[in-house]
Amino acid sequence: MVAGFAGASSGLVRLHEVGEDIRRSRAFQQLEALLDHDESMAHLGLEAVLGADGRLRHLEITSLRERRGNPFFRRPIRRWWDRVRISYHRYRLGADDLADALVMGVYHQMSPAVARVLQTLCHLEVYLTARSMAADARSRGLEVCRADMEYGGSLDLEKLYNPLLFVVTDRPVPSDVRMDTPSPITLVTGPNSGGKTRLLQAIGIAQVLGQNGLYVPCRRARLPLTSALFASIVEIDRADQAEGRLGKEMVRLRCLFENIPPGSLVLLDELCSGTNPSEAVEIVEMVLRMLRQIDPIAFVTTHFLDFAQALQHDPPVTDLRFLQAEVDPLEGATFRFQPGVATTSLAVGTARRLGVTFEELERTIAARQRKDEDGSP
């Protein structure tokens, strides 16, 4: 810390200053002295005479110099007196036990400084990771920025992208997400694999990073200062779970309305996807009405397109917005989002793209049957 950050001109120079304070402390000086004493308590000079057969003929100690300048040095009479006192008090301590006690004594004095250093390292890890993400984004032709934060402000994200997609694609497709009021509820629709879940992730990541003063994955960002963030994303089922997918989602929704304060950011992905549409739409409409009572900034994705179109014509709550995944007639989903409600989920196109058609499956079954008849592996 002292040497590595001595020339720093930014706030990192504090690491140099903290390192200097630690080195000047009595505990650090004791630690250095203890390590030095353990490494070289004394220097012994020997003179050896070897015969022609390689055997040792003579061995003489020519010098013995103890490290008298070390604070842990004790003269012979003092060492003898220490042993007498230890025996008198019936302490059973060996040389290793004494060394351990000295080490622990120094450690207890150094532990507050060590704790501060470890905390500093954790903070540095966060900032260095943020800078690494920014550098990675710029290398892909994407931009990052520092968000403008304000109480009661609206959400405005220009060219927003999801940095989690860096592991699966070279350049995620950016989208604009603009809300001109402080507490809108936005229903997000679009085709399967059209980017709805990834959009919710990107919004949540942008809010967390922006509110902590870190780089936001977009060209320009204006974000409200929110008191909480609640995200309900479809999770993988486990064999030991007590409730099914719908039951777990209902538990999360109850937790939402029991704990979330007004003005929070709420992200609900594929609401009520685990039940039949006739029952699901009733629950979705109830959730929208309840959300309006706590006035959050809410984004809700759904694949119930007919229901979303009906809500667009007759919204059950005020300030209900709609975003849809843009679809190219030839290429399908573009992973960009624009105002409106999607008209198709492109389920047939997705199945065709993944080879799940009657003809393709029929050919696959026929080929497997031929292999079984031929006995080939």
Contacts of 374 (CB under 8 A, 6+ apart): none
**Using CA atoms, how far apart are residues 377 and 152, in angstroms rounded to an integer?**
66
Cα angle 284-301-314, degrees, rounded to a multiple of 5: 55
**Using CA atoms, how far apart are residues 42 and 61, in angstroms rounded to an integer?**
13
Q: Identify the H or E element spanning 372.
A: helix 358-374
**Using CA atoms, how far apart are residues 165 and 178, in angstroms rounded to an integer?**
22
Query: What pLDDT is stored for residue 185 in this prediction?
Result: 92
**For 144-345, which CATH superfamily applies?**
P-loop containing nucleotide triphosphate hydrolases (3.40.50.300)
Spell out the domain ranges in the chain: 21-134, 144-345
Which structure tokens are listed for 22? 């630690």
Query: What pLDDT is stored for residue 215 in this prediction?
Result: 95
Query: What pLDDT is stored for residue 22 in this prediction?
Result: 82
Burial class of residue 179, CB neighbours in 10 A (0-12, 13-18, 19+): buried
Rounded CA Rg of the chain: 35
CA distances from 176 to 160, 192, 217, 219, 277 (A): 6, 20, 12, 10, 30
E strands, 29-167, are 42-50, 56-66, 148-150, 156-160
User: By C-alpha distance, which of 324, 155, 306, 294 is closest to 225?
Assistant: 155
Tens-level pLDDT at each residue, the chain (377 residues)? 888 888 888 878 888 888 888 888 887 888 888 888 778 888 888 898 988 888 888 888 888 888 777 877 777 787 777 777 777 776 666 666 667 777 777 778 778 877 878 888 888 889 889 999 999 999 999 999 999 999 888 899 999 999 999 999 999 999 999 998 888 999 999 887 788 999 999 999 999 999 999 999 999 999 999 989 999 876 655 555 555 667 777 888 888 888 888 889 999 988 776 667 777 888 888 889 998 988 889 999 988 888 889 889 998 888 899 999 888 766 667 888 989 898 776 555 555 656 666 677 677 777 777 777 776 55
DSSP-derived pairing of the beta strands 175-178 and 229-232: unpaired
Query: What pLDDT is stored for residue 247 in this prediction?
Result: 76
CB 175 within 8 A of CB 336: yes
Q: Identify the H or E element spanning 235.
A: none
Query: What pLDDT is stored for residue 16 in this prediction?
Result: 87
**Using CA atoms, how far apart are residues 330 and 92, in angstroms rounded to an integer?**
86
Q: Identify the H or E element spanning 137.
A: helix 95-139
Give me the DSSP letters along 241-264: -SS-HHHHHHHHHHHHHHHPPTT-
